[in-house]
Structure 1
Amino acid sequence: MTDASLADNPLFAERDLQAFDAIRPEHIAPAINELIARTRAAVERAADPALPPTWDNIVDALDDVSERLSRAWSAAGHLNSVVNTPELREAYNESLPAVSEFWTWVGLHEGLYLQYKRLAESAEYAAMSPTRKRIVDLALRGFRLSGVELPPAQRERFADISAREAEVTQKFSENVLDATDAFALYIEDEAELKGVPEDVMQAFANAAKADGKTGWKVTLKAPSYIPVMEYCENRELRAKLYRAYGTRSSELGDAKFDNSPLITELLALRAEESGLLGFASFAHKQLQERMAREPEKVLTFLRDLAQRTRGHAERDVAELRAIGASDFDLHDLQPWDLAFVSERLRTQRYEYSAQEVKQYFTEPRVIAGLFEVVERLFGVRLETVDAPTWHESVRVVRIARATDSDAGKTGDTIGHLYFDLYARAGKQSGAWVDSDRARRLRHGKVQSPVGFLTCNFAPPNGDKPSLLTHDDVITLFHEMGHALHLVLSEVDELGASPFASVEWDAVELPSQFMENFCWEWNVLSAMTAHVDTGEALPRALYERMLAARNFQSGLQTIRQIEFSLFDMLLHQQSTPGDTAQVLALLQEVRQEIAVLHPPAWHRLPHTFSHIFAGGYGAGYYSYKWAEVLSADAYAAFEEVAQDGDTLLPEVGQRFLREILAVGGSRPAIDSFLAFRGREPKIDALLRHSGLSEPLATTVTGPSSH
């Protein structure tokens, strides 16, 4: 295929910012097929044993072509996640096998592997920078973990496994999205929704009207589901929604969305893949590329944290049961009652509700406040610019170096971020950051990074802006931390970019670090404006929020440990079994860890996209692991804060220099040591979570020793 025949294909074009408004499903296959062909040819050239094994001939030459393929496929995948249509899904799935097969072929290419080995043994390697040496070393490890040293027959089977894994994880995601989108409850009697906040009710009415219906439309999307569970006095409705939410994509719902066979197949594929490589389990294989290194170390960490936490979690549950019985005559507190009773307990104890707080967090003001934090900490400027997008609500932000603040000027462009903040049909739930392209020094010129920041907040309601809960604000800051890791990297080589080589259990450090600023008075007061009055958040209300910061932190922490322990034990098995055995293992984990137990019909694994479709298989523990790092990193700001002000540019610059800017150019622990000057400690995490003081527990987990 010639460049001329692809001239009008936006996925094939080389642009700083992609023409997202012009990308159509029919563009995917032609662009991807041609870019695969070109990259395949480049691999064969680099693998020629007659070619001198130099950095320029191998690493740089392959980066030049493979980056174009990766960027085009990233754009296609991103659009498939945020504006999913039948046509786009079909086109994406049509190219998925070819992309999977190609990258598997690269990982199994013995000639290219031998060229990397020769490069590692060369005089050039001995004189390389530490970053380049690390890239070569990581590439060699990647080849080995991709099966390149396997005998031919096993290599072929490994390739088949990799291709099928890509298909299964994609179908898992589609089933969760489709099952969520398929549910809609139209309510005609307003009394059935008694207690639901007025602004949410208006959004429900607008949604029904958009469907040509009267009354109110309730869905399983977060901006709809969560307010009903927290505020609706109709217990029967809460139970109905809880069951619908908890049985999505399972055998208890629509059979065409059932993820049961996919879970069984994926676990079997992962176990076989790991066995071929000589590992005891998928967990053992995955941890080769992570800080923890061994499953046993993760299990010890999780169980130790569970012992420190369980007493607090049991106290949280006891309080819920007490108020449920005394205030609502709920002597048999059920899972669909928990959010409702929790919100009442919070309101009663701290004299405020999440709904009251939400009125102060208008999305435009929150975004402005977030930008102010980033600008002050890291010496940059953020400004919205015009650029093509995939949806009218998406904004594009340019990040530039700060220059003369008095003149309001900005310096050179550092990178761009696309902000896609609102929930809608055809968009995957949750929040995440993806890379469109990473920073790179290319032919003497710095290529700036571009990323996607995606959330699922309630959209604007009529002429009123989107209102965010404080949890939404924390989510936004969290994702901004990931985005900053991408755009503020100063690494010149793609192989050491943050998303390419930072250990998975450290990649949450910047994101969780940023969450801490959501609790600082000077930050919150500057980023709030009441939707009706424009008044900033009152100090008295802030103090009540701060007092409630660790409300049910024991319960929340033990739940995260439950998910993490289930994930690790599941993937530590050499023969995981079928879905029934997966559910049985989950029950065993709950018997050991949990203080609350969902009904037997609840199907958590069937929508656990993190571990079955999102890259967190044998890695969900990373959230808590990295939280130790992030809390300790934030303590560096707290230790020198004056009058509670942690927005300290001098410490921010050190964090930028030692954590964000270095990306994956060195091991994550080395970056932490450079910033903190010592090994990480758990003390700050326990203090921030209100878990410093041990509480008695009625059931103790296994010893961590």
Structure 2
Amino acid sequence: MTLDPLALPTSAADWSAWFTERTAGELARATELVDALRAAPPADPVETLRRWDRAAGHLGNAAAAGSLFGNVHPSQEVRDLADAAEQEAQRIGTAWGLDRALYDVFAAIDPADVAHDLLAARLLAKVRDDFRRSGVDRDEATRTRIAQIRERITELDQEFSRVVRDDVRTVRVTPDRLAGMPDDWLAAHPVDEDGLVTVTTDYPDSVPVRMFARDQDVRRDMTIAFLERGWPATEPVLTELFALRHELATTVGYPDWPSYDADVKMIGRLNPVAEEARNEPSRSIPAFIERIVAAAEEPMRRDLEQLLERYRRDFPDATEVPGYDYNHYAELVRAERYDVDSQRVRAYFDFTKVRQGLLDVTGRLFGLRYEQVDAPVWHEDVTVYDVFRADGSERIGRIHLDLHPREGKYKHAAQFTLTDGVRGEQLPEGVLVCNFARGLMEHDHVVTLFHEFGHLLHHVLGGHGDWFRFAGVATEWDFVEAPSQMLEEWAWHADVLRTFATDAAGEPIPAELVAAMRAADDYGKGIYARTQMFYAAMSYWFHADRAAADRGEPVPDLTERMVELQGRYAALPYLPGTHMFASFGHLGGYSSGYYTYMWSLVIAKDMFSAFDDTDLFEPSVAGRYRDRVLVPGGSRDAADLVADFLGRPFSFDAYAAWLAR
């Protein structure tokens, strides 16, 4: 069967009608399949599971369209329709999970009758677990309350995302206060009629200003504006969100939300702490945080000593470096100690060349070919590529790259699903949503682009199985970052970068500069690890703290708790009066699981150890990684995928060695 990509509208005027018809149709098909399944399940239990999976696929199509276009479409009308569609998909999914008659269909299946089909057996176990976690075994009044909670959680999550997305703050300064900024950045920020330059909190503005501006007051003002996004509007939203998550978790039998969330993740099954307390798998999260904190202690102290030594040249009496000066002085350390000038580095990373280089590198690595196509898009910035196997034998998916900032668009970097891929049903389509400058890029942004593209590849390569449930990035959530983090390594290798990183004269980036960049990047990783553990602790404790009310104790104030956790875990001090948590978007989708970034980095470093640094494109290793880790999607547990690739279980050793060097 030849599958075609999803047909998007050809004009802006058609979008509202198309979106309404698309999502309504998918939701109707999903409902029809489930109604028939409830009324008269097939005699063949595998066919019963297949119909359920197809219904979930249609529901997923509607939810994916809602999530994507609610975050990227330039029309407020379409964004509102998208948010509503995502809410409706969530509502229907919740109703299914609480439907006892529907549950009875799967409870009646004897696992022995599907044991001959390993994936069907895997799906049956997961579906039964889904029903258990949904609260289907509770009384009618409790199930009604669970439905209300889930619907409200979806609304709050969307509201939090909307406020953070739309709250773009500005700092206006005279042009003389922007000394140190790159010429191309200054050219893109002309002086207005008031004689001022407007700088926004979007990443292409805020990151370079905090790194390069020589005026400390500008750096401070920019940092404060960035950290204050979402405040105070999101505090009551988050407070209610955390409370409802806790109520949901305890209602279905867990002690708190982190335990509910971790129960279906790697950390809930593999961390030794969880073996001692299976009813509280979340105990593994603070144990993991403390392990990273201990491993990062000495590297962090080395980083801070170098930073403070440089800072005291300008501020002799300083006892610490404030957060608003960190990026600037870390850049000076790298420039002076490692001879790495980020403005010189930027000259080699023109956006257009980087984008093509990314396609060339990943095509060579994974045996793929990308063909740009003239297809309808939601904004003129979006570029579209069909993905083929390198021999041209088969089109395996379509990708959409939406890589520049604009008003009303998602402010961070992420891969969004447009369609999950299932053999014979639909091609995988994914969307990369980022916010990069149109001209020269910081190398950190190049690394981010490689990282996010790793998710896109996982989505496409893993989208050719027989089940929606296991399509693409369908592994445990604390593994999904590992393939992307590993792909970052190709953005640090001189032989790779020299294939596309060239200056205006066409000269490739010198290998010795890349070596210096890698050495400079090692500076600060202790600070980075501790900062990440501060974020992970905040993510965990904001949720775990809700249990205090069950014990008759006061629940900590969010700002006070954030300040306390920053003091305990972070390398850099709290900036008084700021409320970073108010725009910490991961409190939405990742909830209590921000630890997953570091957990998966441990795995990524271990997987990368299988590659030969002298030949990162060696076909047998790259092919084995592609076929044993990416292509299977979620058809096996992540730990088994990694062990199949490495020939052994993953370990902490490679990460610890990297952190300590």
Report what 1:185 is aligned to: 171
Deviation per CA, 1:394-420: give whole Å up to 9, x if none: 1111111122xxxxxx22101111111
Which position in structure 1 is the counterpart of 2:288?
301
SS at match of 2:435: strand
| Unmatched runs of 5 consecutive residues or more in structure 1 | 1-13, 252-257, 404-409, 460-465, 693-705
Decide which of 584, 601, 619 is 1:627's aligned counterpart: 601
Identity %: 28
Say if 1:524 and 1:537, in contact at 8 Å, map to a contact too: yes
Matched-pair contact (CA < 8 Å) for 1:366–1:527: yes
Aligned to 1:310: 297
Distance 1:484-1:330 versus aligned 2 partners, 3 A rule: farther
CA positional deviation for 1:318: 2.4
Shift of 1:481: 1.1
Query: Alpha carbons of 1:225 and 1:576: their partners in 2 closer, same or farther (altered >3 Å)?
Result: farther
The aligned runs of 1:488-503 (5 Å cut-off) are 488-489=461-462, 490-499=464-473, 501-503=474-476
Structure 1 residue 32: Cα displacement = 3.2
Task: Report SS of the residue matched to 2:609.
Answer: helix
- Is 1:24 the equivalent of 2:10? no
- Is residue 2:119 matched to residue 1:146? no
Asked whether the equivalents of residues 478 and 599 of structure 2 are also in contact (C-alpha less than 8 Å), the reply is yes
1:571, distance to aligned residue in structure 2 (A): 2.2
**1:601 CA displacement:** 1.7
- C-alpha separation in 2, matches of 1:66 and 1:334: 49
**Partner-residue secondary structure (3-state), 2:131:** helix
Q: 1:412 aligns with which of 394, 411, 414?
A: 394
Deviations 1:454-483 (A, max 9, x none): 111012xxxxxx222111111111111111
Matches within 5 A, 1:283-432: 283-293=258-268, 294-327=281-314, 331=318, 333-403=321-391, 410-432=392-414
Correspondences of 1:245-644 after superposition (within 5 Å): 245-251=226-232, 258-293=233-268, 294-327=281-314, 331=318, 333-403=321-391, 410-441=392-423, 445=424, 447-459=426-438, 466-489=439-462, 490-499=464-473, 501-530=474-503, 532-575=504-547, 581-611=557-587, 613=588, 615-638=589-612, 641=613, 644=614
- 1:140 is displaced (CA, Å) by 1.2
Q: CA deviation at 1:226?
A: 1.1
Q: Deviations over 1:602-659 (max 9, x none)?
A: 2121111112x2x211211111111111111110003xx5xx2222111011001110
* CA positional deviation for 1:574: 4.3
Distance in 1 (alpha carbons) for counterparts of 2:570 and 2:291: 14
TM-score by length of 2: 0.92
Deviation at 1:237, TM superposition (A): 1.7
- Counterparts of 1:671 and 1:245, CA distance in 2: 39
Question: 1:172-251, aligned counterparts within 5 Å?
Answer: 172-180=160-168, 183-187=169-173, 189-205=174-190, 215-251=196-232
Q: Which SS does the other structure have where 1:24 is aligned?
A: helix
Matches of 2:366 and 2:339 in 1, distance apart?
36
Gaps of 5+ in 2: 269-280
Shift of residue 26 of structure 1? Answer: 4.8
Give the aligned residue type for 1:586. M
Does the aligned pair in 2 maintain the 1:358–1:467 contact within 8 Å?
Answer: yes
Q: Deviations over 1:300-342 (max 9, x none)?
A: 2221111111122122222222211214557364221111111
Q: 1:306 to 1:272 in 2, by over 3 A?
A: same
The letter for the 2-side match of 1:44 is D
Alpha carbons of structure 1 residues 329 and 223: separation in structure 2 relative to 1, 3 Å: farther
Residue 428 of structure 1 aligns to which amino acid in structure 2? Answer: Y
CA distance in 1 between counterparts of 2:141 and 2:261 reads: 23
Q: Distance in 2 between matches of 1:509 and 1:94?
A: 32
Q: 2:39 aligns with which of 40, 44, 48?
A: 48
Q: How far apart are 1:557 and its partner, in Å?
A: 0.7
Give the letter for the 2:590 counterpart: Y
Task: Report the TM-score when normalising by structure 1.
Answer: 0.86
Give 1:609's aligned amino acid.
G
Give the structure 1 partner of residue 637 of structure 2.
Answer: 667
The separation in 2 between residues aligned to 1:400 and 1:241, in whole angstroms, is 44
1:654 aligns with 2:624: yes
8 Å Cα contact 1:566-1:589 kept in structure 2: yes
SS at match of 2:388: strand
SS of the residue corresponding to residue 417 of structure 1 reads strand
- What secondary structure, in the 3-state scheme, does the structure 1 residue paired with 2:263 have? helix
